[in-house]
Amino acid sequence: YAREHLAPRNQTKTIAASDSSVAKEGNWSASGSKATSTANGDTLTIPFYGEGITVLGRINQDCGKVEVYLDGALDKTVDLYCLESGSDNAEIYKKRELPPGNHTLTLKHTGARNYATDNKVVINQFNIDAPAKGTLVTGENLLLNKTVSATNTYKNNATYGPDKAVDGSSSTRWATDDN
């Protein structure tokens, strides 16, 4: 069975690039919320649950290029070079309207650069968009092969048995009213 349920509204979760939940492979250095790389092949990987993600980082004359992989597939290569004085908190990648669920974003330092004198990649944070409240999430299998029990059944009718009221969460309480 699938049960329709409502998800939280307009929740944005911010995770610093230096956070321990962000997997770092290679020679990333951390300072405050930032993670910085100057080496080809270094990666940052963040698993997330949501409908979208925004990456904030540095664009400047000393920045290179980064490949962005979403759910294992190359989505885009971003050139972080900026001729003028740049920004340390620029929106360097944004993806919206993902199906609600688990996703993985990986940033890979390419080692390439435009006209920059350096090829730094500096990432500040990830902003993750949770499903909007009031958005109906359907089709999710919520039975999860759980055993259920009931202290009573609506009008003692097996059509309303406990096997119809399972969502896999031990904190969910179902109630009926025989009146």
Contact 113, 81 (CB under 8 A): yes
Q: Cα dihedral angle (110, 129, 91, 71), rounded to 10 degrees?
A: 20
Contact 54, 91 (CB under 8 A): yes
pLDDT-based confidence at 173, cuts 50/70/90? low
Confidence (pTM) = 0.69
Mean predicted confidence (pLDDT) in 140-168: 55
Instruction: Measure the CA–CA gap between 76 and 98, rounded to whole angstroms.
Output: 15
Indicate whether 133 pLDDT > 60. no
Instruction: Measure the CA–CA gap between 52 and 71, rounded to whole angstroms.
Output: 12
Backbone angles phi, psi at 129, to 5 degrees: -95, 120
Question: 76-110 pLDDT, tens per residue?
Answer: 999 999 878 788 899 999 999 998 889 999 999 99
